[in-house]
């Protein structure tokens, strides 16, 4: 993780206790889940997708769309919930997105999404939990 201080911090042992091994690999070590492997990819009910690491609401279901990539995709996050950094790993330049509250890696944002934003927040489903609307 970077040196930025987040409102929610945990020790490595606390993160490992809170997250599954796959969640830990993605969220704390900037990994990626296998495409098509998460049930949330097909979630279509009204509700909110939140960070598994700290419960921060991240994305509203009304801005989720089918991108065909194998990962849950969204037009735009809940305002102030997601921060971005430049990711230069794997010999390419991408925009990483992470939770603004705990710093956990969520995925990447690309400029090939549909209107109105033209953005595609391509998010690892294991980093998300879904809360259906009441």
Candidates 13, 50, 16, 61; CA nearest to 126 is 50
Element (H, E) at 17: helix 12-18
DSSP annotation string for 29-90: T---PPTT--GGGG--SSEEEEETTT--EEEEGGGEE--SSSS-EES-PSTTSEEEEEE-GG
Query: In this structure, what are the phi and psi dihedrals at residue 8, rounded to the nearest 5 degrees?
Result: -110, 120
Residues marked as catalytic: 122
Cα separation, 120 vs 52, whole angstroms: 20
């Amino acid at each position: 993780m970077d040196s930025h201080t987040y409102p929610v911090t945990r020790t490595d042992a606390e993160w490992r206790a809170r997250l599954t091994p796959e969640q830990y690999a993605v969220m704390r070590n900037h990994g990626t889940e296998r495409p098509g492997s998460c049930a949330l990819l097909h979630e279509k009910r009204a509700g909110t997708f939140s960070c598994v690491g700290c419960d921060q609401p991240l994305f509203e279901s009304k801005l989720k769309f089918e991108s065909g990539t194998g990962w849950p995709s969204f037009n735009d996050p809940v305002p102030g919930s997601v921060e971005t950094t430049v990711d230069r790993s794997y010999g390419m330049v991408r925009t990483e997105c992470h939770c603004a509250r705990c710093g956990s890696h969520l995925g990447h944002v690309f400029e090939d999404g549909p209107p109105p934003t033209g953005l595609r927040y391509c998010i690892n489903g294991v980093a998300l939990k879904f809360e259906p609307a009441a």
